Amino acid sequence: MSRRKRILFAISDTGGGHRSGAQALHAALLQHPQGRDIDYDTIDLITATGLPLLRNAPNLYDQLSTRWLPLFNLFFQLTNGRRRVDTIAQIAYLTAQRNIKRTLDEFKPDMVVSVHPIANRFIGHARATYHMPFRFMTVVTDLVSLHASWGDPDADLCIAPTHEGAQVLLNQGMPADKVLFAGFPVHPKFTACNLTPDMARQILALDRQRFTVLLTAGGVGSGRLRELVIALNAAYPEVQLLVITGRNATLRNELQRLNLPSHVRIYGFVDNMEQLMASSDVVVTKAGPGTLMEALVMRRPVVITEAVGVQETGNITFVVERGLGAHSRNIRDIVQSVGNLMDPELHATTVERLQGAVPRDGAHRIANIIIEQLHMTPPTLVRRSRLVNIAELPRWMRRREYADENRRRLRLFSLSLLDNLRQQSGSTFQFRHRLRRKNRKSNSN
């Protein structure tokens, strides 16, 4: 009896979109005629590297995307280049390759599907270094503003969620025969939900006559949601508000203590988002690709409140230029945008434009591609050296060769790397050690 095929999803919990993308693909594969004969597993490959910072990536991302967003954007810009990504990934792989190999060996996959950009180079390097016999494809879970790490030529195929995203991948140097547009991996339950607003409101015990607005701020519940709820209720007291606070219990308790009217419903973390969206006329959300694409798949006009990081800015342009909703930066403008969409004519026109805006069955399309790839023979790869040859590194990284391997690795992770990234990006930002060095030279003269 032949062994069952195995698919491994490589993710990281840096934001909820990567895990939810993998879950959507898993659900779509289980609905495929051949999907139940396959074994599945999901790993956080970034934390599995064991590298400093990367092993704490989920917690670090939460801090960077909220308290230190300017630093997050700076790092995005400094590293957003094909050569820069290749160099950084090669250096990190030098130290993490044994952990990566051990992680992949534990599952022995026939296919690895990466839904996280940082995981891509690690998978490609490990497959070539240890001649691992699996297919490797990436599923992009950002929409338009794609970091250069998404486009990994070592992958057998890269699935783009939008036509704009596909063009970015080509511009970054991905071979045209490896880039394919198939839509975004939204969970199949959104595609299968055909409830009318009236039907959904009846199921959820909501008022069936009121104009209904769904407000969400992501899985952890963030931003200015409390102030926005108060402002919307004050401006449109007749509107039914469905407020999702996610896992932020403190925010939920604060809203519940406000003694808002009964048609303002406060929810925590929910698993029936498709029903809540079906019951809504408008969805107010940040520019995160997951919830945003769920709303567009459900053909609901959106009001985008903010973009968390440079990688989400293109999502705003994607929505606004197509007339699928609005983007408003402050509370007053958000309230006005919701009021505009309450106009029956504008609302109907927006819904009409939504009908063909994005594929509803992106997860099923990608699942079909995964099954096709799974039955293809893994490519013949040229075996790579198990350790990066220091002579092949850029000249600025090999001023001296250390006999001791640990000291050499430490130097590779030194401030010289950051300094080089600064120079390549054209940033005027200067690191303190450079300023101190210049001051010492000027004082000596």
User: Mean pLDDT throughout 152-160?
Assistant: 94
Residue 54: which of 27, 82, 91, 29 has the closest Cα? 91
Give how far the C-alpha of residue 273 lies from the chain's centroid of Cα atoms, to the nearest Å: 19
Residues belonging to the chain: 445
69 pLDDT exceeds 80?
Answer: yes
Structural tokens at position 414: 């030194």
Predicted pLDDT of residue 58: 78
DSSP per-residue codes, 203-243: HTT--SSS-EEEEE--TT--TTHHHHHHHHHHH-TTSEEEE
403 pLDDT exceeds 50?
Answer: no
Rounded Cα gap, residues 248 and 246, in angstroms = 5
The β-bridge relationship of strands 179-181 and 38-44 is unpaired
Tens digit of each residue's pLDDT (9 = 90 or more) over 292-314:
999 999 999 999 998 888 889 99
User: Mean pLDDT throughout 256-269?
Assistant: 93
Predicted pLDDT of residue 433: 46
- Which residues are 112's β-sheet partners? 8, 136
DSSP 3: P
Helix%, strand%, coil% for the chain, nearest 5: 50, 10, 35
Quick check: 46 and 118 in contact, CB under 8 A? Answer: yes
Tens digit of each residue's pLDDT (9 = 90 or more) over 175-217:
999 999 999 999 999 999 999 999 999 999 999 999 999 999 7
Domains and their CATH numbers in the chain: 5-186+362-374 (3.40.50.2000), 189-354 (3.40.50.2000), 414-445 (no CATH)
107 pLDDT exceeds 60?
Answer: yes
Say what percent of the chain tops pLDDT 70: 84
401 pLDDT exceeds 80?
Answer: no
